[in-house]
């Protein structure tokens, strides 16, 4: 037995020994005992899975224990959420048994004030079918719907009745959307659902299933005041009843997609940001601003996308030959979930006579030009006009990340970077058609610089600045 195996066995032994001290009887990796006291005592079965101690014990209440939320399909208790497993908390036997006891108390009382776990699919058999994607279901409630089967997913395309007497093509499917409100206990069968589904819906669904051309039932429900939906595959089983299995599903409605854009996405929707220089760093700054919910971006750059740029640029191979601002615009606006308008300006930077207007017309200007003269022009204009500029660059082949707020919100600017002597000529790399040496900065440094600059930008746009003068990270 290896040392690793010995450590796992020792940890398991300690856990079992502690349970036995508390009155549990062990039979291999299965333990039987009582939790609680007096009238509240309940006998439970604890099984140590193969992944123990790195996966939690499986706890089963008696077979006649009332059905409730927070249970696996086989009846086991759901004790630890996926984000509550740090430090393997179940290894503290006292805390583990206290949690089991709390679960029993909450389940008996119907989980009052429960956190809204929207996991109705766990109470049904799981179907091995592609992901089903749906949009806003409000307009589809109590209606038949049409779905389109694609290569890797099935998409709800809108309302659609099953055509009478016609064969349904292999790439089409039909379903129905219904609403069961806020169930006290999780339904796990067609019989359970018929109690909550309106009687008229039940008749329509059963008739459609009997016709054999009906594939999906989308069940909307509420938990803790939060709405959700589960997609079920539906069929007539061999006994003449109706079988159900949950299908992995997800919403692509705008409101759902915005949940992952960040807490500031709604506030950023009215913001207009100018990004001067949309090469490596600037292209990803535009990308991150769009993903954060910024409403409009103006992208400036006089260069075009070349094949070598693709290593560190947002754009893909289809953008080679396009002006960089246009490549950024097309890439961002091509996303189905994008809500940002990108204006492409392939002119580098406004003329000195126009640059103050750029600050007036935008809520924020970001300099990612990597050009000394452009940075100077923008910095002087920002200071003269009472505006603020964020300037981002990489130095020392990406070993220094620098973001400046110009002028600082208060105090002094961050000090200049102490640079090493230029590289020897024999260490430089050149590319045909490019007079300057090729920067050998790695893509991960570009991503980091863009992320820090975007953090500063969102801080300024939302009135919660990250720092007064900027950030410097020196990895030398």
pLDDT tens for residues 207-247? 888 888 789 999 999 988 899 999 999 999 888 889 999 99
pLDDT at residue number 420: 76
pLDDT at residue number 438: 66
The answer to whether the CB of 319 falls within 8 A of the CB of 305 is yes
The answer to whether the CB of 153 falls within 8 A of the CB of 131 is yes
pLDDT class of 66 with cuts at 50, 70, 90: confident
At 395-419, the pLDDT tens digits run 998 999 999 999 999 999 999 998 7
pLDDT at residue number 184: 87
pTM, whole model, 2 decimals? Answer: 0.81
More confident of the two residues 399 and 255: 399
pLDDT at residue number 114: 80
pLDDT, the chain, mean = 90
pLDDT at residue number 437: 65
Of 330, 361, 367, 332, the C-alpha closest to 348 is: 367
The answer to whether the CB of 57 falls within 8 A of the CB of 93 is no
Cα torsion 8, 14, 15, 17: sign: positive
Please give the average per-residue pLDDT across 414-428, as a whole number. 75
Q: Does residue 58 carry a pLDDT above 60?
A: yes
The answer to whether the CB of 196 falls within 8 A of the CB of 187 is yes
- Distance, CA of 293 to chain centre: 14
Please state the domain extents for the chain.
3-109, 120-252, 261-411+424-462
The pair of three-digit structure tokens given for residue 277, joined into one six-digit string: 């220089």
pLDDT at residue number 131: 96
Share above pLDDT 90 across residues of the chain, in percent, rounded to a whole number: 67
pLDDT at residue number 165: 63
Phi, psi of 395 (to 5 degrees): -125, 160
The pair of three-digit structure tokens given for residue 133, joined into one six-digit string: 């994607």
pLDDT at residue number 439: 73
Please give the average per-residue pLDDT across 182-189, as a whole number. 90
pLDDT at residue number 212: 80
Q: Which of 37-46, 257-266, 327-336, 436-445 has the lowest mean pLDDT?
A: 436-445
pLDDT at residue number 356: 93
pLDDT at residue number 155: 96
More confident of the two residues 373 and 262: 373
51-68 b/e (C-beta count within 10 Å ≥ 16 → b): ebbeebbbbbbeeebeeb
For residue 210, give Cα distances in angstroms to 177, 193, 194, 242, 300: 17, 17, 16, 9, 61
pLDDT at residue number 166: 62
pLDDT at residue number 38: 77
Q: Does residue 344 carry a pLDDT above 60?
A: yes
More confident of the two residues 258 and 187: 187
Look at the domain 261-411+424-462 and name its fold.
Rossmann fold (3.40.50)
pLDDT class of 19 with cuts at 50, 70, 90: very high
Share above pLDDT 70 across residues of the chain, in percent, rounded to a whole number: 96
**C-alpha to C-alpha distance for 191 and 194, rounded to whole angstroms:** 5
pLDDT at residue number 427: 63
At 123-174, the pLDDT tens digits run 999 999 999 999 999 999 999 999 999 989 999 999 988 777 666 678 889 9
Q: Does residue 429 carry a pLDDT above 80?
A: no
Q: Does residue 271 carry a pLDDT above 90?
A: yes
Q: Does residue 72 carry a pLDDT above 70?
A: yes
pLDDT at residue number 119: 87
pLDDT at residue number 432: 57
CATH class of the domain whose range is 3-109: alpha beta
At 431-469, the pLDDT tens digits run 655 556 667 789 999 999 999 999 999 999 999 999 999
The pair of three-digit structure tokens given for residue 430, joined into one six-digit string: 């050149």
**C-alpha to C-alpha distance for 152 and 148, rounded to whole angstroms:** 11
């Amino acid at each position: 037995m290896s040392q690793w195996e010995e450590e796992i066995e020792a940890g398991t032994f300690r856990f079992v020994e502690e349970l036995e001290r508390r009155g549990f009887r062990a039979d291999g990796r299965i333990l039987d005992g009582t939790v609680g006291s007096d009238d509240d005592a309940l006998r439970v079965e604890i099984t140590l899975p193969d992944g123990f101690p790195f996966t939690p014990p499986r706890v089963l209440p008696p077979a006649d224990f009332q059905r409730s939320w927070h249970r696996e399909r086989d009846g086991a208790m759901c004790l630890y959420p996926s984000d509550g497993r740090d430090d393997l908390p179940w290894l503290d036997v006292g805390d583990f048994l206290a949690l089991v006891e709390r679960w029993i108390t909450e389940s008996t009382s119907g989980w009052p004030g429960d956190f809204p776990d929207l996991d109705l699919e766990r109470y049904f058999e799981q179907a091995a079918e592609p992901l089903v994607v749906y949009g806003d279901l409000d307009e589809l409630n109590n209606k038949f719907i049409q779905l389109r089967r694609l290569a890797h997913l099935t998409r709800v395309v809108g309302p659609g009745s099953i055509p009478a007497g016609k064969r349904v093509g292999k790439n089409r499917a039909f379903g129905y959307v219904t609403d069961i409100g806020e169930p006290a206990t999780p339904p796990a069968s067609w019989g359970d659902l018929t109690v909550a589904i309106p009687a008229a819906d039940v008749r329509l669904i059963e008739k459609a299933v009997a016709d054999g051309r009906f594939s999906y039932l989308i069940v909307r429900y509420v938990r803790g005041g939060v709405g959700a939906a589960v997609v079920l595959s539906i069929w007539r089983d061999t006994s003449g009843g109706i079988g159900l299995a949950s299908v992995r599903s997800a919403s692509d409605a705008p409101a759902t997609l915005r949940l992952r854009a960040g807490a500031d996405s709604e506030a950023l929707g009215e913001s207009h940001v100018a990004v001067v220089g949309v090469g490596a760093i600037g292209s990803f700054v535009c990308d991150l601003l769009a993903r954060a919910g910024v409403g409009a971006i103006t992208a400036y750059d006089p260069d075009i996308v070349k094949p070598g740029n693709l290593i560190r640029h947002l754009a893909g191979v289809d953008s080679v030959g396009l002006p960089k601002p246009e490549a950024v615009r097309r890439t961002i606006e091509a996303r189905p979930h994008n809500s940002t308008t990108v204006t492409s300006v392939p002119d580098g930077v406004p003329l000195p006579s126009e640059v103050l207007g750029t600050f007036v017309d935008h809520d924020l200007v970001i300099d990612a030009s990597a050009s000394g003269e452009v940075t100077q022009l923008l910095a002087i204009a920002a200071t003269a006009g009472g505006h603020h500029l964020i300037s981002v660059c990489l130095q020392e082949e990406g070993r220094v990340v620098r973001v400046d707020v110009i002028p600082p919100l208060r105090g002094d600017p961050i000090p200049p970077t102490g640079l090493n002597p230029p590289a020897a000529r024999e260490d430089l790399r050149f590319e045909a058609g490019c007079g300057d040496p090729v920067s050998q900065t790695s893509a991960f440094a570009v991503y980091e610089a863009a992320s820090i600059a975007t953090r500063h930008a969102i801080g300024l746009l939302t009135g919660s600045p990250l720092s007064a003068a900027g950030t410097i990270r020196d990895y030398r």
